[in-house]
Amino acid sequence: LQKSLNEIFGADKYSRARKEVLTYMFSRPMQMALYFCTGVMEDETLFRHYALNVPFYTHFTSPIRRYADIIVHRLLSASLGASSPLKMEKEDIQRQAEHCNDRKMASKRVQELSGDLFFSIFVRVRA
């Protein structure tokens, strides 16, 4: 897919704009990743990362960015023996994951609506 897209982008003055628009259009319908506690999930096929094609995957970034990343860092640190275990049951971790998913989806929806609003204002001003 990426190779095909690169061929479509071209090398003219609009190639960067085409790349941004097409990449956005292709990635928008992709299913959003969800946080979950593996201790409550019995189906290990749900642990896969579809795009990377790996059977087990954990994503996290800097723990200053998102609360879910703080939890993942703490769990990883505890599992490696670098810190004491978290005093949370797996059901509590799952509830935290679900809350993070809810907030992430709400944030994404607001971002999409904001983009739609500003686009409509842009079109109205230009008309």
pLDDT for 87-121, tens place per residue? Answer: 999 999 999 999 999 998 999 899 989 988 988 99
Confidence of residue 29 (pLDDT cuts 50, 70, 90): low
The domain locations on the chain are 31-126
- Is 0.75 topped by the overall pTM? no
* Non-local CB neighbours of 97 within 8 Å, separated by 6+ positions: 34, 35, 36, 37, 68, 71
Residue bearing tokens 């994951």 = 97
